[in-house]
């Protein structure tokens, strides 16, 4: 009888060790890789670089049966390249289409970035 119990305990330990697996490898990306934008594999927040607009997560859809279903209204984000006279190079930003209109309104990306307090050197 004792040998049966010992066999059961041994089997339990063997199955327990079989499912522990390898420990999670949490890889941290360097800040330079995160700042480089689209080439980085790290997921970015879906937000406008100029205006900081984010998705509306409180939207609802009302069905025919009058159920209210949650939905997310995403920001219309576009990659857009502007030439910055202050930096003497072009900058590539992920802007909402509203943000693109705002840049057009202020005439240049430099004026718009100054108005909204965005540092263009990281783009
Ligand atoms: C913009 O960022 C760069 C580097 O991160 C920094 O050297 C510079 O002083 C910043 N400019 C302003 C206006 O904050």
For residue 90, give the CATH number of its domain: 2.30.170.40
| Neighbouring-strand partners of residue 81 | 92
Using the predicted structure, report yes or no on whether residue 41 has a pLDDT greater than 50.
Answer: yes
In a domain, residue 95? The reply is yes
Atom of ligand 1 nearest to the CA of 120: 1
Q: Which residue has the higher pLDDT, 18 or 118?
A: 118
Mean pLDDT, to the nearest integer, of 111-123? 95
In a domain, residue 60? The reply is yes
Is-contact 113 120, C-beta < 8 A? yes
The CA-atom distances, in angstroms, between 3 and each of 8, 16, 74, 85 are 9, 20, 64, 83
Those residues whose C-beta lies under 8 Å from the C-beta of residue 118, and which sit 6 or more positions away, are: 49, 50, 112
In a domain, residue 86? The reply is yes
Q: What phi and psi values does residue 5 have, to the nearest 5 degrees?
A: -65, -45
In a domain, residue 66? The reply is yes
**Nearest residue CA, atom 10 of ligand 1?**
119
Ligand 1, residues at Cβ distance < 6 Å: 119, 121-122
Q: What is the mean pLDDT of the chain?
A: 81
């Amino acid at each position: 009888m004792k040998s049966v119990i010992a066999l059961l305990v041994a089997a339990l330990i063997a199955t327990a060790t079989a499912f522990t697996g390898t420990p999670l490898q949490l890889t941290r990306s360097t800040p330079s890789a995160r700042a480089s934008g689209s080439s980085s594999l790290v997921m970015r927040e879906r937000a406008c670089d100029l205006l900081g607009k984010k998705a509306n997560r409180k939207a609802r859809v009302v069905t025919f049966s009058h159920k209210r279903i949650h939905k997310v209204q995403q920001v219309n984000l576009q990659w857009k390249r502007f030439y910055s006279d202050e930096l003497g190079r072009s900058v590539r930003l992920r802007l909402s289409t509203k943000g693109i209109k705002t840049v057009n309104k202020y005439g240049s990306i430099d004026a718009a970035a100054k108005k909204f307090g965005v540092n263009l050197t990281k783009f």
